[in-house]
Every structure is written in C-alpha cells, then in structure tokens.
Amino acid sequence: MEKTKVIVGLGSCGIAAGGNKVYDKIRDLKKAEGLDFILDKTSCIGMCYREPLVEIIDESGAYLYGEIDEKRAVEIITQHIQNQNPVKELIVKSDYFVTPDSEFFEGQVKIALRDCGFINPERIEEYESRDGYQALRMIKEKNLAAESIIQMVLDSGLRGRGGGGFSTGMKWLFASRNQSAEKYVICNADEGDPGAFMDRSLLEGDPHAVIEGMIIAAYAIGANGGIIYCRAEYPLAIHRLNIALDQARDKKYLGKNILGIDGFNLDIYVKEGAGAFVCGEETALMASVEGKRGMPAKRPPFPAESGLWGKPTNINNVETLANIPWIIFNGPESYAQYGTEKSKGTKVFALTGKINHGGLVEVPMGITIRDVVYKLGGGIQDNKRFKAVQLGGPSGGCIPEHLIDTPIDYDSVNATGAIMGSGGMVVMDESTCMVDMARFFLDFTQKESCGKCTFCRIGTKRMLEILSRICEGNGKEGDIEKLEELAYQIKDSSLCGLGQTAPNPVLTTIRYFRNEYEAHIHDKKCPAKSCKPLLTYTVIEENCTGCTVCAKNCPVNAIIGSRKELHFIEQDKCTKCGICFTKCKFEAILVS
C-alpha cells in the first residue's frame, strides 16, 4: 500500500489565501508528532473560492478539503490521518459522497487543465506519469512528418484561445510554408485580461504542457527558437517555467537533435514583459521582445512571413498550446467530439464577480451561459437577480439576462456584441450599474492604449469623459449618440485589436441597457442605486425611532433630530456616503 499523501494547493490563489501557512503548519505537525505521510504541493485546481485547499489521499480514496486555515489543518490531520476519521463537514469534493460543491465539477471536461491540481508542477516526473511528453515521443516513434502534425491540429478544429479564434492549424500551415532557415515559436503568456487568470494558473500548475506544445509546434513549422513572453507580475509562473525548462533540457526534450530526431534543434527561454495590455497583440509583443516599445505594426506582412527579427514566427497563447499534446496523443477526433460544428473542444473560463463559485472552469464549447453561471458557478451571491455577464475581458461585451441561454461558442458570442476573448467572465447582479461598468472597463483600455492611433488614444479619452459626466449626474442630451459615433470611429480606425474592441462594453451596454443611460441623463437617477452623485438619502418617517445612530455616524453632521424624535437629512450638507443607510437597524433610510 502506498503512503498517505497530503497535498496543499499552492498556486497564487492558494498562497494569497494563506496556503503557505497551512503547508508550514502541516509540516511542523508531521515532524512534531512523527507522522508517516508524504507532504507535497500542487497548484490551482480551479476551486479558488474554497482556497486554501488540502487534499488527503489514503487507501480509502481522495478527499479534498476547503477553506483550511492553520487550526483546521491540525483538525484534519488529527482526525483523518491519526484517527482514520475524515472530517466530512470540511470536505468539498469526494468520490464517495455528494457535497454542496459537487456541481462545480459536474459538466467540466478538463483537457487544457488536465494536470492542474493533480501534479507537483516543479517535478517533471509527475508530468511524465500522466502521459507527459508522450505526444512528443509518439512523433519520434511513429516518424510522423511535420505535415501530419499540422493536419492533426487542423482536423481537431482547435482555434486560438487567446481571443481571435483563428484556426491554429492554418496558422501553423502558413508558417511551415516559409523555407527560412531561422524560425520562431512564441507563447503569448501576457494575459492582458485582469479578470482572466487562466494563463497564469496554467503556467503555475502545468508548465510542461505548454512547453511540450511549443516543442510540437516548432517541429511542425520547422522552428529552432522559442520564447515564452510572460508579464513580470507573475513571479510564481516565471519561477516554475524556468524550473520546467531546465528539467526539459536535462531530459533532452530541448536542445540539439531532440529525442534523436536529426536536425531538430530547439531551445526556449522566458522573456519577462512589463505588463502592457497592448502586448497581448502579436506585433506589439514581438516589438517588446526585440527591445522596442510595445506598439502594434501594420499587417501584412503577417508574423508567419516576417515576425520576430524579421523571421517567420508562429504565436499561440498558453491555453492553445496546452491543448496540443493532448490532441496529438489522443487523436484529433477525440478533441473534435466536444463543442459545436465551428467551435470544437473545450474552453477555460475565469469566473468572477457577483457569483458564488468564483474560479477556473473548463467546459465543452456550446455550453450555455446559464449552465456556467447557475450550475458550475453556483448562482448569484445573496440570491440576487442575474443581470449580465461581461465576456471577453475589458474589451469584451456585456450579455444581458434575456440572452442567458446563449451557447458559448465563437459565432454565438460574437452575435451578441461580446467576444470570447481569453475567457474572462465577470458576472453582474441587479446592484450593478451598467453605465458605470462600461466606464470602468473603458478606463482600463484607455489607460492601456499605446497611443499610436489617434482615434484610440484620443477617442477613448473623450468617451471616458462622457461616461464619467453621465455617472456624476452631468449627462446631456445627445451624449448617447456621441458615444456611439466615437465608438464606431475608434473601431474602424484603430490598428490593433485593443482599439478595435475597446468600445465593446459601451456599445453593448447602450444596446441592451439604453434605459439606464437615459435615466442617468434625463432623470438624474441611477436605477441600480450605484452611482453616488445620483443618490438621495431620506428618512422614512414611520420607521424612524429617533435612536440617533445615523446622526452620530454622519461624518458631516447632515442629520438633525433629538433622541426618540423624527430625524431629517439636510440635503445640501449630505455627501451621499451611505453610512446612515448601512448603520440604521430599523430600515428607516430610503435610497432613491
């Protein structure tokens, strides 16, 4: 019988939640009590809302514990390992009984995330034990030609998971046709979407899958140089990538004549980026690698013809490359069985916002937004009403409640005005102001504009000014029309995807929530009661007991009234901070 294993989730999410303290506590307890078990670490399993996570695997099976602090760590080690009595109320996943969190995993199909949470990402042997590098070995053993590899990727139907959705196989085919003696493969790990952390989690949890995908891509197009472009704000991902690259070199998966394939030479290094959103665009990314300012360039020529250092270059993002070894090893038909006619396979989404189960999920293409939000995501926090979902990151679009049954595939999502993007999914409830939400996302893209295109640089600034005025109660007649006009000019006149998609949050919120814009402009009211300058706080006479709590907590002394008498709010003094509303225990403050 194998020894009992205790595995602590130490991805960035787990560490931020206190995972390192839990690991240290278990290590110290193991030493102090002389306990005989293996203590190990893994990365994010996707259940970020239950971090820190600890898994115990013994002769009876695997038990995943959630929200474990130092005190609970002692409890589960004592009860589960020493007394052979699992602490059922702390278990979030088990093969032997249903938990309140079981639905989070139902419906998921893990291909890109297949190893995340199951291996120690700093040990190549654990990746190899789960068929790691077997796809590369199969290419050698079966003497598969580069053309055969490209055809397999084409047959799988894999499309770029970075946002554009272009056929991965076609990209490889274009790059392979160039006969240059010097070619490059680049992994775009710049992950510009702040809400979409799946690329970082993949690199932290399964770096070898991405590296193997890059090696196979290099073999297919004839490349001899590889670069992983990763923003410096992801130190754990970079640390584990560099460990994995050293291990791959030691195992001869990188270097000269890889696995004995004559003439197949490749090395890969990590290039740390400065975190510019625009460097998610491939020409800006290559400029940054070359030491230039990250700004997009005109196309053609496309990278497959003239890319990094003027040489043919193929660029795929992290999730795309992580799928490649699985496709080659299991066959393209296995991948193509998932999804829809034009959107094959699975997609990883980062669920965040007003949702109960925030984290990473990987689902077959074609699943509906409703199933992701209410089944895997556990529904809306505090049982509030679903209002919209922002899909595609800061430059994505807002999909409203009446389109919640939209299938998640490239064509269906695009038809709503949103984009697939890199997989960020921000869920909003009835308390979300859609005008302010559009302002929030446009503020991000405006700041991240490289400034090269006039319409993107100045147009987004003018749009942001209008949105800010509207949220402050200073909206004017014609503002909506000005926003639409500017939005289409920016989309039509910008060189790269940042400018072309930056207006999407504004256009989709105007399209689906125009009434909220009109209420802000004409009635000077925020229907979601979110924009403070548009709120009015008044005392409900029949509910007021004269307890004076509101008056005592008002920072500007805007509330008057004696004890046990009706209170009043002086509107000219009120700063609309909302403290009176939150402090009142008798629901005597009306917000309108």
Q: How many residues does the chain have?
A: 592
CB 297 within 8 A of CB 289: no
What pLDDT, on the 0 to 100 scale, is given for residue 196? 54
What pLDDT, on the 0 to 100 scale, is given for residue 393? 83
At 277, the pLDDT band (50, 70, 90 cuts) reads confident
Q: 5-101 maps to which CATH number?
A: 3.40.30.10
CB 403 within 8 A of CB 430: no
At 127, the pLDDT band (50, 70, 90 cuts) reads very high
Q: Which of 428-437, 448-457, 462-471 has the lowest mean pLDDT?
A: 448-457
Pull the structure tokens for residue 191.
Answer: 């992950």
Fold of the CATH domain 346-429: Ubiquitin-like (UB roll) (3.10.20)
Q: At what angle do helices 168-177 and 207-221 cross, to 10 degrees?
A: 40
What pLDDT, on the 0 to 100 scale, is given for residue 101? 92
At 193, the pLDDT band (50, 70, 90 cuts) reads low
Q: Which CATH number fits domain 536-591: 3.30.160.20, 3.30.70.20, 3.40.50.300, 3.30.950.10?
A: 3.30.70.20
Residue 178 has pLDDT above 80, yes or no: yes
Place of tokens 């197009």: 221
What pLDDT, on the 0 to 100 scale, is given for residue 379? 96
- Reported as a single tens digit per residue, the pLDDT across 135-167 is 999 999 999 999 999 999 999 999 999 877 899
- Listing DSSP states for 533-584 in one string gives GG--EEE-TTT-----HHHHH-TT--EE--TTS--EE-TTT-----HHHHH-
At 27, the pLDDT band (50, 70, 90 cuts) reads very high
**Percentage with pLDDT > 90 across the chain:** 90
Pull the structure tokens for residue 193.
Answer: 């979407």
Residues in a beta bridge with 167: 159
What pLDDT, on the 0 to 100 scale, is given for residue 95? 84
Residue 197 has pLDDT above 80, yes or no: no
Q: How crowded is residue 51: how many other Cβ atoms within 10 Å of its Cβ? A: 24
Q: What is the mean pLDDT of the chain?
A: 94
CB 568 within 8 A of CB 559: yes
Domain 434-523 -> CATH class: mainly alpha
What pLDDT, on the 0 to 100 scale, is given for residue 126? 97
Q: 124-336 maps to which CATH number?
A: 3.40.50.11540
- Reported as a single tens digit per residue, the pLDDT across 474-521 is 999 999 999 999 999 999 999 988 899 999 999 999 999 999 999 999
Residue 1 has pLDDT above 80, yes or no: no
Q: Where are the domains of the chain?
A: 5-101, 124-336, 346-429, 434-523, 536-591
Residue 125 has pLDDT above 60, yes or no: yes
Alpha-carbon distances of 267 from 225, 248, 461, rounded to whole Å: 6, 10, 43
Residue 360's SS3 state is strand
Instruction: Please state the pTM of the whole predicted model.
Output: 0.93
Give the type of residue at 257.
Answer: N
What pLDDT, on the 0 to 100 scale, is given for residue 352? 93
What pLDDT, on the 0 to 100 scale, is given for residue 162? 81
CB 513 within 8 A of CB 568: no
Q: Judge whether 434-523 and 536-591 match in fold.
A: no
Nearest 5 degrees, angle CA 48-CA 50-CA 54? 100
At 327, the pLDDT band (50, 70, 90 cuts) reads very high
- CA 574 to chain CA mean position, Å: 40
What pLDDT, on the 0 to 100 scale, is given for residue 192? 56
- Reported as a single tens digit per residue, the pLDDT across 215-227 is 999 999 999 999 9
Higher per-residue confidence, 448 vs 211: 211
